Amino acid sequence: MEEDSRAGHFLIIDDLQDNARQQAYKQLRQAHTYIEQFHSKDDSTNMPVPGGLIHRWVGLLFIPDATVAQTLAVLWDYDNHKNIYKPYVRNSRLLERNGNESKTYLQLYKKSLITVVLNANCDITDTQFTSTRAQTKSYSTRIAEVANQGKPDEHEVQVGMDHGNVWRLYTYWRIEEKGAVCISR
């Protein structure tokens, strides 16, 4: 992300060729999203992760009639994430805030072939570059699987003794106001 910023590519589509970038912005203004999968590499080779996978996706969306300040107010409302991002976030709360750094708790829920519920603690750093550009970086510091979710004997599985569905969760947001708000990453 720092390399992108130095190259003047704040949002992922800023790196596209001119015609492709204009087409992407046109689609975004028509309520479409821009999504791209990246591959994690170390010195131009795929990074080995024995027994695991790295999922690295970049998405961009356009929020008409919104400002960076309004968007940040929603992102920073950690106590309300359980309502905003329901059903994927079952519980949420701000544990601590110190300047531009926060500690949060989230209980995440995903049901597909199996149901996975995770308790996650995250450290978050917010940076406001200008009134029209901001960035939020979130790093999980603890993830624990929840067993028997929703039942009287609901409990956390001992870390390391779980199914290993998610080991780390890193989320990066870039927000830029361009007549409306564009959110990337």
Q: Which fold, 2-184? A: Alpha-D-Glucose-1,6-Bisphosphate; Chain A, domain 4 (3.30.530)
Residue (of 37, 72, 26) closest to 175 by Cα position: 72
DSSP one-letter string for 141-169 = EEEEEEESTTSTT-EEPPTTSS--S-S--
* pLDDT for the residue 45: 64
**pLDDT tens sequence across 64-95:** 888 899 999 999 999 999 999 999 999 999 99
Token digits for 15? 């790196």
**pLDDT tens sequence across 31-47:** 888 887 776 655 556 66
- Residues 6 or more apart in contact with residue 93 via CB below 8 angstroms: 78, 79, 104, 105
Residue 174: pLDDT over 80? yes
